[in-house]
A and B are shown apart, each in its own frame.
Chain A
Amino acid sequence: MKFHVRHGSVAALAAACLLASACSGGQSADARGGERAGGGAFVVDAKGCPPDATEALPDGAPIKIGMSMALSGPLAAIGAPNADGFKAALAAANAGGGVDGHKIELVLKDDAYDAARATANAQEFIGKDKVMASILAISDASISATRPLYEQACVPQLGSISAHEDSSDPVKHAWTTVAIPPAAAEAAAGVKYLAKTVPHGKVMEFRQQATIGEDWAASFPRAAKAAGLSLLDVQTISPTATNLDAQAAKLTASGADAVVGELAGAQCIPMMQSLAKAGFKGVVLVTSACNGAKQNMMPIGKAADGVASLFFQKDPSVASAKDDPGLKQYFSDLATYMPHTDPTVTMTLNGYTAAELLIQNLRDAAKMDGGLTRVNLIDAAWSAKIRRTEFLEPDQSMNGDKDPYIINYVAVQTWDAVGQTWKPTGISNTWDGRH
């Protein structure tokens, strides 16, 4: 009995401790921002940073870059190609002598698209591996989980893959940059296309219940209404749905002029398939997540003919890509350094171009006063200027809060099922870079 009481009291004590600790809950972590000194370049506020954030990397020491990637789990289809493309670009840079005498070393960890593992990985990058930066965080959940850690340690979190409007916010979250345009930039280009092809038409949205659908929900309806389009009832789609027949029936029954597929990955093909079966004759627009021709258009033949998609990067999977001078270096680096990787996968190119930007950031930082430090790296990232020929608009730049996205140019192209290629529509939009 005595024993029993003692055990009970331990439990009570633990509960009391937890209760007491709870008083400290509910406050938000202090986020570090940045500012612009008298019209000059955007500078990240590094006052509270640990001292090693401003210590230059010793001569000859490798530049460690941490990547926590979905190599297994539900998004393995995205993770591995990104990592491979990134590795190919690093290997090419290292073969050319690296950056300022430093080799770049990738510390790759699997997070299985799980924010819990991404958090532990981030702590390992910061605490044990002492990385110079982390790169290519691919889920909004992982980004919001790890962002406070990187902010506290003053480690740049570069090239995140998020189309969420708040993901690139140099004032609130100065240590996180984003590699792709926000959904609002894509939506703006899409709305331009619809306003031209179906002026004042009725538009229906197929919205996947996932981050991509949420991001579009935040921007597309507003832009569409402003352009004079009328919006029909949104059709929601489960992330595990395998056909969109019911939604397609609703679409054709409603007499819609156009449909927008706010969906990604596994649902691009089912959507186009269902639309073709339902005999939908109107305009079909899908996001850039569906613009890999080999994965999403070619498998379904005629059903994909005329589908419009949004582009900022060239599609490496069309036959003409091999002859595109802008992609020549990419194909050659992949063939040399990652011969087992399929270079026609859009995500491989994505990882490759993320590495190009990172290498440019590192080179810029090495030239700054104080040399290759983490603080210089993040400042260099916010003021990046780069020419990347794999994009439709190769000349790209960032400028802190005035232009927080490296990619602002989005164009619309339509699929030609006979010629097996994308045809430009002449419609594009350059995002003004502000929320």
Chain B
Amino acid sequence: MLDSDVGNVAYLLQLLLSGLSTGALYALFAVSFVVVWKASSHLNLAAGELGSLAVFAMASLTTSLGFGVWAALAVVLVASLGGGALLQHTLIRPADRRGIFAVVLTTLAVYLVVNAAVGLLWGTQARQAPSPFAGGSGGQLVLLDGPPRAYLTYGDLLALGTLAVVVGAITIGLHRTKLGLAYRAVASNRLSASLSGIPLSRMYMAGWAVSTAIAAMTAFLVGVRNGSIDFQMMTPMLAFGLTAATVGGLDSIRGAVIAGLALGIVVELVPGVLTAVSGDLGLIIALVLVLLTLLVRPQGLYGTKRLERV
């Protein structure tokens, strides 16, 4: 049942590279879930939609107001930080008093509102993605000439580079700054962190702010990769991002990165190599991975094993 091209090195390499670059997006999105989960055990299901709101705002800044792509990106990233903090302060905190489920439901509500608002404000037709490269994902780095050609586009390189920078920055931020120390204290034990004078609510706000900004970055890179953006652009990403976060361990940045990259590779490689699995089964592969993880290793690959089994 192996594909006829399974002996073709360029074919396999191309599937791997394509998986790696899609995986970088899954990983980045998963990191945005982990950042929130780590401190507060919350799930921000609205992250992707907030990201597409940001990238549409970016498109307006570049096309209507004459901003450069990088300037527009800087503006929306700052706005996303603020928006994430505001969301936490105005809606999530009151909901949190009613428990984690109320928070999930609130993020679902935000998901609905933001998704529809993007469609209302910018229309539902696809439009050109804001991209620093000409023609969407730009030129490419050809590793093997094939056929098929094995390549990484500049957009893919940007995605992989962004992932490295974001993870590096978060790691340094967590381990070298006072805020990071406080965040880690909250992540490891909320009660004792609060007793030692760490303002929990400010920590949560910081988490949501960073998470929303990472989601905005993810949406920007998804746009660069696809070449176009539309109001449903992040919907298919939700299941993949959650899968990567769960498989990696919901409180582990490292886990999210590794699981995200691996998920991308599996989703591209398995259907390309096995004829029995057709190319459109990505979401089903993701579902199977989630179920297997929870059965075999519920804390995920790198998660902390503090879950109480009952």
Interface of A with B (CB < 8 Å)?
72, 74, 76-77, 80, 209, 233, 235-238, 240-243, 245-255, 265-266, 269-270, 273, 276-279, 295-296, 298-303, 342, 345
15 new A-B contacts at CB < 8 Å, known A250-B3, A252-B146, A303-B227: A237-B279, A238-B282, A242-B225, A242-B226, A242-B237, A246-B279, A249-B272, A250-B5, A251-B148, A253-B147, A269-B226, A299-B126, A300-B227, A301-B134, A342-B125
The CA-CA distance from A265 to B124 in the complex, in Å, is 11
Shortest Cβ distance from residue A108 to the other chain B in the assembled complex, whole angstroms: 17
The CA-CA distance from A337 to B62 in the complex, in Å, is 31
The CA-CA distance from A206 to B54 in the complex, in Å, is 32
Contacts of A242 in B (CB 8 A): 222, 225-226, 233, 236-237
Contacts of A342 in B (CB 8 A): 123, 125
Contacts of B146 in A (CB 8 A): 252-253, 279
Contacts of A238 in B (CB 8 A): 279-283
The CA-CA distance from A106 to B175 in the complex, in Å, is 64
**Taking the complex as formed, is B192 at the interface, i.e. its CB lies under 8 A from any CB of chain A?**
no
B228 near A300: Cβ-Cβ < 8 Å: yes
**Taking the complex as formed, is B49 at the interface, i.e. its CB lies under 8 A from any CB of chain A?**
no
A249 near B18: Cβ-Cβ < 8 Å: yes
B236 near A240: Cβ-Cβ < 8 Å: yes
A246 near B227: Cβ-Cβ < 8 Å: no
A269 near B134: Cβ-Cβ < 8 Å: no
A249 near B230: Cβ-Cβ < 8 Å: no
B147 near A252: Cβ-Cβ < 8 Å: yes
B29-72 contacts to A (CB < 8 Å): none
As a 0/1 sequence over residues 223 to 262 of chain B, the CB contacts with chain A under 8 angstroms (1 = contact) are: 0011110101101110000000000000000000000000
**Taking the complex as formed, is B135 at the interface, i.e. its CB lies under 8 A from any CB of chain A?**
yes
**Taking the complex as formed, is B80 at the interface, i.e. its CB lies under 8 A from any CB of chain A?**
no
Contacts of A245 in B (CB 8 A): 14, 18, 22, 268
Contacts of B124 in A (CB 8 A): 76-77, 80
B120-174 contacts to A (CB < 8 Å): 123-129, 134-137, 140, 146-149, 151, 153
Closest CB pairs A-B (n = 5): A238-B280, A77-B124, A252-B148, A240-B236, A299-B128
A299 contact from B10, B15, B227, B272, Cβ within 8 A:
B227
Shortest Cβ distance from residue A307 to the other chain B in the assembled complex, whole angstroms: 14
B147 near A255: Cβ-Cβ < 8 Å: yes
Contacts of A302 in B (CB 8 A): 135
Nearest B residue to A304 via CB reads: B135
| Known contacts A242-B225, A252-B148, A299-B227, A76 near B128 by CB under 8 Å | no
B228 near A299: Cβ-Cβ < 8 Å: yes
The CA-CA distance from A209 to B233 in the complex, in Å, is 18
B200-241 contacts to A (CB < 8 Å): 222, 225-228, 230, 232-233, 235-237
Contacts of B125 in A (CB 8 A): 77, 295, 342, 345
The CA-CA distance from A252 to B282 in the complex, in Å, is 21
Contacts of B303 in A (CB 8 A): none
Nearest A residue to B234 via CB reads: A242
Contacts of A80 in B (CB 8 A): 124
A209 contact from B22, B151, B280, Cβ within 8 A:
B280
A237 near B280: Cβ-Cβ < 8 Å: yes
| Known contacts A246-B272, A269-B126, A303 near B136 by CB under 8 Å | yes
Number of contact residues on B: which range applies? Answer: 35 or more
| Known contacts A299-B127, A300-B227, A300-B228, A240 near B283 by CB under 8 Å | yes
**Taking the complex as formed, is B271 at the interface, i.e. its CB lies under 8 A from any CB of chain A?**
yes
A253 near B148: Cβ-Cβ < 8 Å: yes
The CA-CA distance from A236 to B284 in the complex, in Å, is 14
**Taking the complex as formed, is B304 at the interface, i.e. its CB lies under 8 A from any CB of chain A?**
no
Among A241, A246, A249, A254: residue with most chain B CB under 10 A: A249
Q: List 7 A-B contacts (CB under 8 A).
A: A236-B278, A250-B279, A277-B137, A277-B151, A296-B126, A299-B129, A300-B135
**Taking the complex as formed, is B183 at the interface, i.e. its CB lies under 8 A from any CB of chain A?**
no
The CA-CA distance from A54 to B236 in the complex, in Å, is 50
Contacts of A301 in B (CB 8 A): 134-136
**Taking the complex as formed, is B8 at the interface, i.e. its CB lies under 8 A from any CB of chain A?**
yes
Shortest Cβ distance from residue A86 to the other chain B in the assembled complex, whole angstroms: 17
Shortest Cβ distance from residue A263 to the other chain B in the assembled complex, whole angstroms: 11
The CA-CA distance from A367 to B15 in the complex, in Å, is 64
**Taking the complex as formed, is B11 at the interface, i.e. its CB lies under 8 A from any CB of chain A?**
yes
Contacts of B278 in A (CB 8 A): 236
A241 contact from B4, B15, B136, B236, Cβ within 8 A:
B236
A241 near B148: Cβ-Cβ < 8 Å: no
Contacts of B149 in A (CB 8 A): 252, 278-279
Contacts of B180 in A (CB 8 A): none
A247 near B22: Cβ-Cβ < 8 Å: no
Nearest A residue to B235 via CB reads: A240
Nearest B residue to A302 via CB reads: B135
A266 near B5: Cβ-Cβ < 8 Å: no
Contacts of B147 in A (CB 8 A): 252-253, 255
B227 contact from A249, A254, A269, Cβ within 8 A:
A269
The CA-CA distance from A174 to B202 in the complex, in Å, is 67
**Taking the complex as formed, is B119 at the interface, i.e. its CB lies under 8 A from any CB of chain A?**
yes
The CA-CA distance from A72 to B116 in the complex, in Å, is 9
The CA-CA distance from A298 to B283 in the complex, in Å, is 30
Nearest B residue to A299 via CB reads: B128
B136 contact from A240, A300, A345, Cβ within 8 A:
A300
B140 contact from A72, A241, A277, Cβ within 8 A:
A277
| Known contacts A249-B14, A299-B126, A299-B128, A243 near B22 by CB under 8 Å | yes
Among B126, B233, B271: residue with most chain A CB under 10 A: B126
Shortest Cβ distance from residue B122 to the other chain A in the assembled complex, whole angstroms: 11
Contacts of A209 in B (CB 8 A): 280
A247 near B148: Cβ-Cβ < 8 Å: no
The CA-CA distance from A254 to B148 in the complex, in Å, is 8
Contacts of B137 in A (CB 8 A): 273, 277
